[in-house]
Chains A and B, each alone.
Chain A
Amino acid sequence: MIRLEKINKTYFGAQPLHVLKGINLEIAEGEMVSIMGASGSGKSTLLNILGILDNYDSGDYYLNGKLVKDLSENEAADMRNCTIGFIFQSFNLIPFKTAMENVALPLYYQNVSRKKRNQLALEYLERFGLKEWADHYPNELSGGQKQRVSMARALVTQPKVILADEPTGALDSKTSAEVMQILREVNQTGITMVIVTHERGIALRTNKIIHLKDGIIENIETNNPDQIDFNREIK
C-alpha cells in the first residue's frame, strides 16, 4: 500500500535541517503501524509526506501503486480526497460547521449531492455514537467527541489509508483508549492505518512499531496488542 524508497527531506531555513535521511519503508494493505520517535526525529514530517501534505526532495513514494512525485496541486488534492483520511491531534474541525457538516465536507469536494452527503455523514456519526450530536458545533463537543467526529470525517470517503498524527495527544487516558479501540476496529475492516505517536502505550496497540531517530529508521518492532495488558501498560 505504501512504499518509500530513499526519501530525503531537508528544511531550508537559516540553518538547513536534514530531517529525513533516506527512509526506506513498506507498509502492506490492512496493516496497523505506529511511528514513534522523540520530537525532532522527523516522524511528523514523514507523516506529512505520506499524506501528500508536504513534498520531499529525493527518493520515490508509491501510494496504492502510484508514484507520488511532482504532483500538480489538483492531482494531490484528488489523491488526498480519495485515498487518504486524516486524523489530527488538534482535530482540525471547521468551527462554524456542525458535526454533520464537518463530516460531510470531504464529500462536497467529491461533488456528492447534498442529500447523499448528509445521509452518509449521519451514518458515520451513528457508527461512532454521535448521532444525537450531529447538529452541534465543535465547541459544544468534548475532546473525545471531537476526535470521533474527525474520525468519521476521515472515514466517510472510504479511504485506503488513515493517517493519524498524535490522535490521542489532546485526550485523557480513558478517552485515548476508546479512540484507539475505534481505530483498531476500523483497521479490522481492511483500512491501512498509520499512527504517529510518542506514547508507548498507544504504539503498543499497533502491530508494527517503527522507531525513528534523527531522520533514519532505527528499528522496526513487531508487536501483538492482544497479548498486552493495557490496564497495566497505558499511562
Chain B
Amino acid sequence: MDFWREIFMALGRNKLRTFLTGFAISWGIFILIVLLAAGNGLMNGVSEEFSDQRINVYVIYSGETSKPFKGHGTNRSIMFDDKDIRFLETEVRNVDQVSPRIYQNGFATCNDKSSSIFTSGVRPVFKDINNVKMVEGRFINELDEKNREKVIVLDESVRDKLFDKGVSPLGQFVFISGIAYRIIGVSEKMGDSNGNGYVPFSTLKTITRQNRYWMLHFSVKGLETKEDNEAFTEYLRTQLARLHEFDPDDTSAVYIRSRQEEYLQTMKIFNTLQLFIWIIGFAMLISGIVGVSNIMRITVKERTNEIGIRKALGAKSRSILASIVTESLIITTIFGYIGMWLGMVAAEVGGNILSKVQEGNEFSINIVPTIDIRIVLMATALLIVCGVLAGFFPARNAVKIKPIEAMNYR
C-alpha cells in the first residue's frame, strides 16, 4: 500500500516527465496501429478485387493442330461439342460443374433505345464459376435452361443505356435479333468488359444452331497444389487428344487455362504485399521500441541523483529497482492502452472518411482499414515489455554504482 502510494506520488510530482514518457509510448503504439490498419485495408481492398480469382476454375479453348496425327493433317481446328461436355461431367474426376459458352454479337433494343450487346449462352453454374454478382433480380436457373426460356440477364452498362435511372428493367422485354427476351436480372459489370448479356445456353444454342463450341468453363475440386494442377492439365490434354484424335504433345490443339494458375499468381502478389506490410509494421515496432527505450533510459539517468540519495538514506537496491520498474510498468501500460485506443479510433474514422471519398469512384479499390485485435494486443504488450526492460537495465546499473557517485552524478 505504502509502496503504491510512493509510486503514484513520484509519478504525480513529475508530471512533465510522466507525460513525455507516456506520450512516446502512446505515439509509438498509435502509429503502429494506424499503419497496420492501413496495410490491412490495402490487403482487404486488393483481395476483394481478386475475389473472383479465388475459385478453382478451368477454361478450355479450342485451337488448331500443329502436328500431324493418325492420318490427320495440321491446322485442323479442334472444337468442342456435347460429347465433350458429357465426358467432362461423367468421366473426369475433379470436375465439378461444366458450363459451355456460346456467343452472339448484336443490338438490344427496348422501346426506342438501343445498345450493342454481347450475349453469352451459359448455364446457371456460370454465375459461380465466373463470380457474376447480381445487382437486382436473379441469374439464369435450371428451369430456364431446361425449358429454353427466352430470359436475359443484362449488365449494368446495358441497363443504363436502355432504361432511365430509377426505372426497374425487371419483367420488361428487350429485342435482340428479332427475338424478345424477358429481363430477369441485372449483373455487375465484369472488370472492364461492358455490354454483356446472359441467356440460357440451351436457348441461345437453339436460336443460333450452334453445336460446336470453342470454349468450355468448369469448376474443379480437390486440386490444391501446383503439382495437382499440372497433373490434371496433363491428364485432360491426353483425354481430349484421345477423343479428338490429335497428338497429346500438340499444345496448340486445345488450350487449357486454369484459374488455379492465376490464383497462385494472385497469392504470390498477396504474399509479397503481406510481407511488405509486415516489414513496415516491424520497422515501426522497432522504432517505437527504440523511442520508448530511449526515454526510459533518459528518465532513469535523470534519477541517478535521487537513487544515490535514497541509497544513502538506507534504501535497498531491490526496493529502488522495484519502484522504478513498477513506475515504468504503470506509465507504459496506461499510455500504451491510450495509444492503442486512439490508434483504433483513428483507423475507424480514417476508414469512414476513405469510403466516403471513394463513393462513386468506380476505379477505386475499396480500402477498409481493419485491425486484428490479437496483433494489436501483442504489439502493445511487446512495447510495454520493452519499455519496462528499457527502464530496468539502466536502473539496475544506476543502483549498482556507489551511492556517493550516484549522488554526485551530473
Contacts and interface: CB of A to CB of B under 8 A. Distances in A.
Interface of A: 48, 51, 53-55, 73-74, 77-78, 80-82, 86, 88, 92-94, 96-97, 101, 105-106, 108-110, 113-114, 153, 157
Residue from B313, B316, B319, B404 with most neighbouring chain A CB atoms (10 Å): B313
Nearest to B14: A96
A97 B13 CA distance: 8
A135 to B, nearest CB: 13
B5 A114 contact: yes
Contacts of B318: 74
B315 interface: yes
Given A81-B315, A109-B319, A157-B314, 16 more contacts: A48-B404, A53-B402, A53-B403, A74-B317, A74-B318, A77-B315, A86-B312, A92-B309, A92-B312, A105-B310, A105-B313, A106-B313, A108-B6, A109-B310, A109-B316, A114-B5
Interface string B1-20: 01001100110011000000
Nearest to A109: B314
B301 interface: no
Contact of B313 (A54, A73, A74, A80): A80
B226 to A, nearest CB: 65
Nearest to B6: A108
B322 interface: no
Contacts of B313: 80-81, 86, 105-106, 109, 153
B314 A80 contact: yes
A33 B154 CA distance: 108
A114 B306 contact: no
Nearest to B400: A73
Nearest to B408: A90
Given A54-B402, A73-B317, A114-B2, A92 B407 contact: yes
Nearest to B2: A114
A94 B14 CA distance: 12
A158 to B, nearest CB: 13
B311 interface: yes
A106 B402 contact: no
Contacts of A97: 9, 13
Interface in B298-328: 305-306, 308-319
Nearest to B306: A94
A110 B318 CA distance: 14
Contacts of B5: 114
8 contacts: A53-B404, A73-B317, A77-B317, A92-B308, A92-B309, A105-B310, A108-B6, A109-B314
Contacts of A109: 310, 313-316, 319
B314 to A, nearest CB: 2
A96 B13 contact: yes
B317 A96 contact: no
Contact of B407 (A73, A74, A78, A88): A88
A51 B317 contact: no
Interface in B148-171: none
Contacts of B317: 73-74, 77
In the A-B complex, the 7 residue pairs with the smallest Cβ-Cβ separation, listed nearest first, are: A81-B314, A96-B13, A53-B404, A106-B313, A109-B314, A77-B316, A92-B309
A128 to B, nearest CB: 18
Contacts of A81: 313-315
B33 to A, nearest CB: 33
A157 B9 CA distance: 22
Interface string B373-410: 00000000000000000000000000000111001000
Contacts of A77: 311, 314-317
B314 A106 contact: yes
Interface centre among B9, B308, B312 (most CB of A within 10 A): B312
B15 to A, nearest CB: 10
A48 B9 CA distance: 30
A74 B312 contact: no
Contacts of A54: 402, 404
B166 to A, nearest CB: 71
A98 to B, nearest CB: 9
Interface string B212-223: 000000000000
A88 B305 CA distance: 13
Nearest to A93: B309
Contacts of B402: 53-55
B316 A74 contact: yes
A48, A88, A94, A153 interface centre (most CB from chain B within 10 Å): A94
B317 to A, nearest CB: 5
A180 to B, nearest CB: 22
Contacts of B315: 77, 81, 109
A54 B312 CA distance: 11
Contacts of A114: 2, 5
A158 B96 CA distance: 93
Contacts of B311: 77, 80
A82 B14 CA distance: 29
B26 to A, nearest CB: 23
B410 to A, nearest CB: 11
A97 B9 CA distance: 9
A71 B265 CA distance: 70
A157 B315 CA distance: 13
B312 A51 contact: yes
Contact of A78 (B9, B314, B404): B314
A96 B404 contact: no
Given A88-B407, A96-B13, A96-B14, A53 B312 contact: yes
A220 to B, nearest CB: 25
A108 B314 CA distance: 9
Contacts of B305: 92
A53 B318 CA distance: 17
Contacts of B2: 108, 113-114
B6 to A, nearest CB: 7
